[in-house]
Every structure is written in C-alpha cells, then in structure tokens.
Amino acid sequence: MTERLAGKTALVTGAAQGIGKAIATRLAADGATVIVSDVNAEGAKAAAAAIGGKAKAIAADISDPASVKALFAEIKALTGGVDILVNNASIVPFIAWDDVDLDHWRKIIDVNLTGTFIVTRAATDQMRAANKSGRVISIASNTFFAGTPNMAAYVAAKGGVIGFTRALATELGKYNITANALAPGLIESDGVKASPHNEAFGFVEMLQAVKGKGQPEHIADVVSFLASDDARWITGQTLNVDAGMVRY
C-alpha cells in the first residue's frame, strides 16, 4: 500500500490468524520484512505463505522464555534484528465470573501480560544493541475501559499491558524507542467468530458512534500508522480503535 516501512523488520506475535494476520499483511504491504510468529506453527507458515514476498514464519510461545530467545536469535541471523514489535498474541477467553479460578487467572496473566513482557524485553534489547530507533505497539483492548463481562482476568491483563506501555515509554525514550498501545473494540477475528463473543456484536454496535462490525483491518491500518515515521512524536499512549464505543 505504501513503502513507508521499507528496510524495516517487523515482528508480529499471534499472527497465524485474526487481527495479527491482518497486521502482518498490512506491514508487509508497507514494505516491511515481516516475521509471522505464533505458537501455532502450521498456522504461522500458512499465513506467511499467504502474505508471500519476504514474509517468514517462526513459531514461538510468547510465555516461554527459551522459545522467545530462539525466536530473536533467528530474527537476528535472518534480518539483522527487529525494528518494529507488535505484541498481538493473547488468549481471548469467554468465562463466567463464577468459573474464574486461580488456574485460569494465572494462565491468562502468564500469556497475555507476562508473555508481552518476555517478548518486549528481548525485542527492545535487540533494538538497543543495533542502535535502532524502534517501535513497540501492543494490542490491548477497550475491555479495560468498559469492564466487559465474562473475561475478568483478561481485562486485568490488558490493564497491565496499558500500564507497562506507559512505563516502557519512559524507560526507552532515551533510545528513540516509542511504546504505544491500541485498545480495539469487538472485532470479527477468527477467534471471536468461533466463540460466544460472536453473539455480542448487536449490543456493541448499539454503543458505537459509528455503526458496523469491527474488522481486523480496522486495527491493522492504525498499527501501520503507529509503526510509521508519522507517529514519531507519540509515545506512552493508548489509542481506542472501537468506532467510539468508549470515550474517555
């Protein structure tokens, strides 16, 4: 679509399907060399093949430090290092409050929040070692602002991602690395289509200022902007991308 990311290496986690796949597709169309990563190795391969060009699949579990270490070693060997990190991988549960036990809580915090830290730590260390002016873009959720039902641990983890983004901007600004988050509303991703969240579109649309069903491309287009040089003066921010469902 543009060439504004030519020469950049972008890592998108959770890119086998849904919003992550749309982001990987858009960043590749902007000229980036895209690393399509997912715990689902076959899905990552298929997504990279569908994108074509320089896109490359590398399987990794964001919650496993050894797996993430191997991911960044491979990226370094392949491209010289990451310029743009998109923290997209997460588990999107639908779970009644009465079923939220400690095992569920730990699993969601471990993947959605601690996994985001593990990948961000490795990515930003790699950016600094190569003296790159980097970008960290994390996919949070407007559920943090809305307190959406049936996903209490998820809402808490996304609040953690937003807090982490603010702190990271402070820590890394001196290296010309920016950190921002997006807070999407309900999006018709592969995961949502296959879950009870798919029943919520009518209610969510009623709350939106602009009507319609949220699509992965609505998010990917904003990630493209935040990854570009046009967004160089934005850091520590969380941008709601939800057709005006939540206003704060």
Residues 6+ apart with CB under 8 A from 118: 62, 63, 64, 65, 68
**Of these partners, ligand NAD, ligand 4PL, none, which one is at the site of residue 200 (CB under 5 to 8 Å by kind)?**
ligand 4PL
Q: How far apart are CA 36 and CA 89, in angstroms?
A: 11
Do the strands 56-59 and 84-87 form a parallel or antiparallel pair, or are they unpaired? Answer: unpaired
In the 8-state DSSP scheme, what is residue 112?
I
**Of these partners, ligand 4PL, ligand NAD, none, which one is at the site of residue 208 (CB under 5 to 8 Å by kind)?**
none
Active site residue 154: yes
Contact positions with ligand 4PL (CB under 6 A) in 102-161: 141-143, 148
Task: Check binding of 165 to ligand 4PL (CB under 6 A).
Answer: no
Q: Of 63 and 126, which has the nearer Cβ to ligand NAD?
A: 63
Question: On the CB side of 246, how many CA atoms lie within 13 Å of its CA?
Answer: 19
**Least separation, in Å, of the C-beta of 204 and ligand 4PL?**
5
> Per-residue DSSP letters for 136-190?
EEEE--THHHHT-TT-HHHHHHHHHHHHHHHHHHHHHGGGT-EEEEEEE--B--H
Q: Of 132 and 219, which has the nearer Cβ to ligand NAD?
A: 219
Q: Which of 93, 154, 161, 197 is catalytic?
A: 154
**Bridge partners for 240 per DSSP:** 183
Q: How far apart are CA 90 and CA 44, in angstroms?
A: 15
Among 4, 29, 40, 54, binds ligand NAD (CB under 6 A): 40
Q: Of 134 and 191, which has the nearer Cβ to ligand NAD?
A: 191
Q: How far apart are CA 29 and CA 51, in angstroms?
A: 9
Please classify residue 233 by burial: count the beta carbons closer than 10 Å to its beta carbon, then call 0-12 exposed, 13-18 middle and 19+ buried: exposed
Number of residues that bind ligand NAD (CB under 6 A): 30
- Contact track, ligand NAD, 110-129, x by CB under 6 A: -x---x--------------
Task: Check binding of 89 to ligand 4PL (CB under 6 A).
Answer: no
Position closest to ligand 4PL via CB:
141
**Least separation, in Å, of the C-beta of 163 and ligand NAD?**
16
Task: Check binding of 139 to ligand NAD (CB under 6 A).
Answer: yes
Task: Check binding of 134 to ligand NAD (CB under 6 A).
Answer: no
Residues carrying an active site annotation: 154
